[in-house]
Amino acid sequence: MEIKNEMIVTRFPPSPTGYLHVGNARTAIFNWLYARHMKGKFVLRIEDTDAKRSTQEAIDAIFEALEWLGIDWDEGPYYQTQRLEIYNSYIERLIETGEAYYCTCSPEEIETMRQKAMTSGGKPKYDGTCRNKELSNIEGAVVRLKAPLSGTTIIEDVIKGNIVFQNEELDDFILCRSDGIPTYNYAVVIDDMTMLVNTVIRGDDHVMNTPKQILIYKALDCPLPVFGHVPMVLGTDKSRFSKRHGAVSVSAYKDMGYLPDAMLNYLVRLGWSHGDQEFFTRQELIDVFDLEHIGRSAGVFDPEKLLSLNADHIRATLPDELVAPLKPFLKSHGIEVKDSDLIKKVIETLHARSKTLEEMAENALFYFVDDIGYEEKAAKKFLKPAVLEALRLLIDQFEILDNFSEENLESAFKAVMDQTGLKLGKIAQPVRVALTGKTASPGIFEVSALLGQDKVISRLKKATRYIEDKG
């Protein structure tokens, strides 16, 4: 179902009480993609009326995570705490039209009502004591919606299908507290209505809130938005995704070296499909995303699948475009390189084998440090007296090269192979350990050419001394 003949307006309204959870990020992405696909608007709203838990630090973290993901907004950010006059004006309207009323029942009286209802087998709800008293706004009064006492409220959910609620099970719920702060369900409706939001895609933990919100829309004689409730993100044990399953904040994946496009791709596929396609570019997602193919079953967050998809995105990204994202990871290892062209060349040797930017940075360190250490097992297996002659001959070959190109390096290796009778692997693997400290690296010729003549010769000489000292 799509709204016809009007611009689609979606929104993302996080509460700034902590980091941006991957489940909430997926909701933001769905709304953003749908707005972009439909050439509509995406609104960012900060629901900060919980003064005790809302923090500026959390707001900044949310902005940072959204910006990293590439989620931009057309309107906002709006802040609920700056909109109290708007909420109050609609409260007055609801009072004037008889759709809401002031209630002065104390918390103790309401608890007694609920206990009495439960004792008689009913729902623990407000009994409507003040419903027809036409009370004025006195200190300590709350505002309640005059909800229908019979009939049904139906959520026409584009994802789950119709969901029916019996109105007799809903009570005259509070719209505005005694301190003048609006309740969640009321503020959400006024915000969406005044911001012209007509498509609400959110987690299915909000399903129980929706009938109350529908009643508020109807009391204001306002058209309903399209509702779509997305199943939760689960961990591999099928419980709600939490810290015991892995990192739950978007920022953690940024810090681990994941690409934003890979994270976007993975979270979209966690509950939405387009045939059997798994890998999507950002533009492809914008081109094909729809509400019809959001699934009804929960998505299971699999860190290994995300890691594999991230590796695919790294391989699909031009080395030029990885230079800037990689620099902070190199810097965290104490490596600051101003020569972007050098970093690009390093990336060209590593991006086919790197799963994250952090892994790429770790594997790139041998290019930049002045002194490398050897992995113990690697040195024990390959830096042995039997390879001393080959290493010395290779040093002699390298020292006379005018052009330290991959082609000339290969010729030098062949010359040493002819002189020693050794196969390439028997020479290349000790050289790899000498140059990188490890047994795995990009091709030995491209590594040598990029390290440069002086550094290669210096490291080979160090390896020969190491073997001699070990005896």
Residue finishing a domain among 290, 310, 330: 310
In the numeric block, the tokens 């020569």 are attached to 339
**15/58 same-domain check:** yes
CA-nearest of 284, 287, 435 to 366 is: 435
CATH code of residue 439: 1.10.10.350
The answer to whether position 3 is within a domain reads no
DSSP letter (8 states) at residue 166: E
Q: Is residue 460 part of a domain?
A: yes
Please state, in angstroms and as integers, the Cα–Cα distance from residue 343 to each residue in 322, 328, 333, 335, 367, following that order: 9, 12, 15, 11, 10
Q: Residue 130's domain is classified under what CATH number?
A: 3.40.50.620
Q: Which of 140, 113, 143, 119 is nearest to 131 (CA)?
A: 143
What is the pTM for the complete model shown? 0.92
193 falls within a domain: yes
pLDDT score of 5 more than 50? no
Rounded Cα gap, residues 27 and 229, in angstroms = 10
Secondary structure letter of residue 100 according to DSSP: E
Pairing of strands 75-79, 41-46: parallel
Does residue 338 have an active-site annotation?
Answer: no
Q: What is the pLDDT of residue 244?
A: 77
Q: Which of 265, 285, 310 is the last residue of a domain?
A: 310
- Residue 3 in this model has a pLDDT that exceeds 80: no
Summarised one tens digit per residue, pLDDT across range 291-301 is 999 999 999 99
Q: Which of 123, 243, 380, 470 is catalytic?
A: 243
Do 377 and 251 share a structural domain?
A: no
Statement to judge: residues 114 and 212 lie in one domain? yes
Count of domains observed in the chain: 4
- Using CB atoms within 10 A of its CB, is residue 458 exposed (0-12), middle (13-18) or buried (19+)? middle
- One domain, residues 211 and 145: yes
pLDDT tens string 367-411: 999 999 999 999 999 999 999 999 999 999 999 999 999 999 999
184-243 pLDDT, tens digit per residue, is 999 999 999 999 999 999 999 999 999 999 999 999 999 999 999 999 999 888 888 887
> Are 306 and 333 found together in one domain?
no
**Percent of the chain, pLDDT > 70?**
99
Whether 208 maps to a domain, the answer reads yes
153 and 223 belong to one structural domain: yes
Same domain, 154 and 248: no
Q: Is residue 279 part of a domain?
A: yes
The answer to whether residue 1 sits within a structural domain is no
How far apart (Å, rounded) are the C-alpha atoms in residues 39 and 41?
A: 7
Q: 194 is in which domain, residue-wise? A: 83-230
Is residue 80 predicted with pLDDT exceeding 50? Answer: yes
| Tokens matching residue 450 | 């990029």
Helix (H, G, I), strand (E, B) or coil at 234: strand
Distance CA 387, CA 434 (A): 11
End-to-end alpha-carbon separation of the chain, Å? 77
* Same structural domain, 54 and 36: yes
Q: Are residues 278 and 405 in the same domain?
A: no
For 349-362, b/e burial (b = at least 16 CB within 10 A) is bbbeebbbbbbbbb
Q: Which of 310, 336, 351 is the last residue of a domain?
A: 310
- Flag whether 401 is in a domain: yes
Whether 197 and 11 have beta carbons less than 8 Å apart is answered as yes
Q: Does 407 share its domain with 303? A: no
Of 36, 34, 58, residue with least CA distance to 46: 58
User: Is residue 2 assigned to a domain?
Assistant: no
Q: Quote the DSSP letter at residue 245.
A: G
107 and 220, same domain (yes or no): yes
CA pair distance 161, 292, nearest whole angstrom: 11
Please tell me whether residues 421 and 466 are part of one structural domain.
yes
